[in-house]
A and B are shown apart, each in its own frame.
Chain A
Amino acid sequence: MRTMSNEASVVMSATTTMPSRAKVGMASLIFMESAFFAAFLVTYLYYIGKSPDGPQPLDCLELGPVLFNSACLIASSVTVVFAVKSLARGAVGAFRLWMVVTILLGLEFLVGTGIEWRGLIEGKGLTLQSNAFGTTYYALVGFHAFHVAIGLLMLFGMLLLSLCGCINPKRDHMRVDIATWYWHFVDVVWIFVFTLVYIIGKVPQGGSL
């Protein structure tokens, strides 16, 4: 029997172009994370209106601060696109500037969540142990914030790489682009969390959907 390699040139078929493994890998990761968040979202939905005593969503959750935080997070998704576009053009300075803006906006979201939580804990007495609302609220929002922190680390890492001159615009702008998919994902998850927690979930005490 002859080996495959000897035969390789005998019959050539049309070479199919394969998708980029980085894209497929990142898409798979995002798919997987979506399943993780789906479990927490469904759990939150399941427990809406099932806290007979303790602090209630209607009394605790205020739209004002969280709207500002959300605006920052969504804006960061826009600025990170500017950053990637700048890098694709080869404008490394603009890339760094937009990355700094993105990171600051993301940090604002985290700090804002922290301030909100402090108000809930000290002002309203809502903790993880209070009732089903407290449990599901802190778990869902907390795990989202945790993922924002991971995304921020990724962005920060790319900024550092750029500052030390390790990012070559021509070679790396696709990689940077794919890495920022994760940041967009975190943003999209927040839209779901926000809608569920701050709009759908604010039912009167004892009520359900």
Chain B
Amino acid sequence: MTTTPAHSDPARSDPESSGGASTERLTFWEEATRWTLSVDHKKLGLMYIAAGLVFFLIGGVEAAFMRLQLMKADAGIIDPETFNQLFTMHGTTMVFLVGMPILLGFGNYLIPLMVGARDMAFPRLNAFGFWLFIFGGILLYFSYIGSQGLYGAPSAPDVGWFAYAPLTSRTFSRGNSTDYWILGILVSGFGSMTTAINFIATILCMRCPGMKLMRMPMIAWMMLVVAGLVLVAIPVLTAAQAMLLLDRSLGAHFFDPETQGSAVLWQHLFWFFGHPEVYILILPAFGFVSEILPVFSRKAIFGYSLMVAATVGIGFIALGVWAHHMFVIGMGPVLDSFFAAATFLISVPTGIKIFNWIGTMWGGRLRFATPMLFVTGFIAMFVIGGLTGIMLATVPMDWQLSDSYFVVGHFHYVLFGGTVFGIFGAIFYWFPKATGRMLDDKLGKWTFWLLFIGFTLTFMPMHVSGVLGMPRRVYTYEADRGFELWNMISTIGVPVQMAGILVFLWNVVRSLRKGEIAGNDPWDAWTLEWATTSPPPEWNFDRVPTVTSARPLWDLKNPEDPDAHYE
């Protein structure tokens, strides 16, 4: 493949169009002020991703402590109260402060570039959403010093990330650590909703000439569906949290069974948010795969329109599967069957995607650079997680496995093996665009293999300990239950993963300073973001581009055989 160094491009010799990065020296405070006050979608996107990565490290350390405690039976390293806080904060952090912001950050960074716009539809609303997210995250973590827990001492929330009633009632959750959980997530939820509105308005209204809906990059489609899901799901969580707040603060009776409230109602409302949320976290990663895979297979994506249809289908079905989280509460055969069937149904469009990705790779000239490695790993991990998901959707199996470590293994396969691998692939793929420098490929491959091996060591044995009957969220277990070996292997995987993350951080720090200069289009890709400089100027494109097919840069590079001829 051919790479195009930026300096060989005569149209870009003007220093102004290189984003102004190299022309002026700013002091640290000037730079910080510029970023803080910025409404530029690229700066906000990068800040989302950076903040998400910081929370990722925090959530990872919390998980490492849990694994340390569970390494052997009766380890006695962490007391039960702290353990409850650890799994609550780990789950809440990873879903709301890592997954959402990083994926929304990528959406922010990429959508305008990919659809050929100069910014989002509502730039100031965009900044507002970002700062709400930051504020919500800080509020949640402020509970460690600012809240009053069970015995009056500061305590992080300890009710689990889905905060089941009646555990959250005043009776069982004294003090105000649960209120920190409610308010922190409520505030960052407002941020997500404003961002979703922005995504929809940008994708529908800001496309460049010729960018028809069916010519948009897959990632734009995925983000459009994600934004729709956010608009349906997050308000329901907000409503449920408002009810919980009324219960706790003003003595209302929404969820307290002692006073005619219904604990099951909380589960319904929470999972009506919670299951679409799973697709909010995975669909953008599907988008990353659908962008990266074709470029490294040197083929257009297989079955574009079917891919779009499958995405929209997932979006709709995702709204009708939530109660498969609740098979063990005794809903009765009719509801059980409905939600099991709906869950099986959603595996159809998901399977279509898997086959389309394989079809894209089929017969392609595959090049396993780091992004491609992560994306291929994604497909393998996600298929495993998807298959255990189908097992869990089978009601009798779920009765056996619900709330066991099997479930923990399952959702880490889709959320870590899926979403996080997708995110790493995306970071390696778009880092050159955002910074102008490549991430080191050799270190990247180290990161991939360390993460892949560590991940498998940690999460594969959880399926076994789960089938053997180990419940999730226990701070310890007895020695004679047959759990010890599997837990030991799980814990051994943790330092391997940490090594992978450290290599990645070193890679970022090093490449920012002396990484290979990327040029505009280091991967020989086909979407619009590679048509502008790396990093792009604040206005993205000197002249708003006009596109004639789904792969505008292919058309440019191959004027003798443009895609437009086949549309």
Contact = CB atoms under 8 A, between A and B. Distances in A.
Interface of A: 1-9, 11-16, 18-21, 24-25, 28-29, 31-33, 35-36, 38-40, 43, 46-47, 50-52, 128-129, 131-132, 134-136, 138-139, 143
A136 B240 CA distance: 12
B261 A1 contact: no
Nearest to B212: A16
Given A1-B9, A21-B202, A132-B253, 18 more contacts: A1-B556, A3-B11, A3-B531, A5-B545, A7-B556, A8-B546, A11-B555, A12-B209, A24-B201, A25-B121, A29-B197, A32-B235, A35-B231, A35-B233, A36-B239, A51-B260, A129-B250, A143-B242
Interface stretch (B370-378, B393-401, B478-486, B536-544): B536-544
A21 B246 contact: no
A197 B545 CA distance: 54
Contact of A128 (B4, B197, B232, B246): B246
Contacts of B231: 28, 31-32, 35
Given A18-B204, A39-B236, A43-B265, A11 B250 contact: no
A14 B193 CA distance: 33
A161 to B, nearest CB: 18
A125 to B, nearest CB: 15
B250 A4 contact: no
B250 A8 contact: no
A1 B4 contact: yes
A91 B547 CA distance: 43
B260 A52 contact: yes
A145 to B, nearest CB: 14
Q: Which 5 A/B pairs are nearest by Cβ-Cβ distance? A: A39-B239, A5-B543, A4-B531, A36-B235, A21-B205
Given A21-B206, A38-B236, A12 B546 contact: yes
Contacts, number: 156
Contacts of A132: 253, 260-261
B207 interface: yes
Contact of A32 (B11, B193, B205, B240): B193
8 contacts: A28-B197, A32-B196, A32-B235, A35-B235, A129-B252, A131-B253, A134-B253, A135-B252
A8 B544 CA distance: 8
A16 B236 CA distance: 35
A28 B196 contact: yes
B456 interface: no
A81 to B, nearest CB: 25
Nearest to A51: B260
A142 to B, nearest CB: 9
B161 to A, nearest CB: 19
Contact of A4 (B212, B239, B240, B545): B545
Contacts of B253: 129, 131-132, 134-135
A45 B9 CA distance: 65
B297 interface: no
B254 A6 contact: no
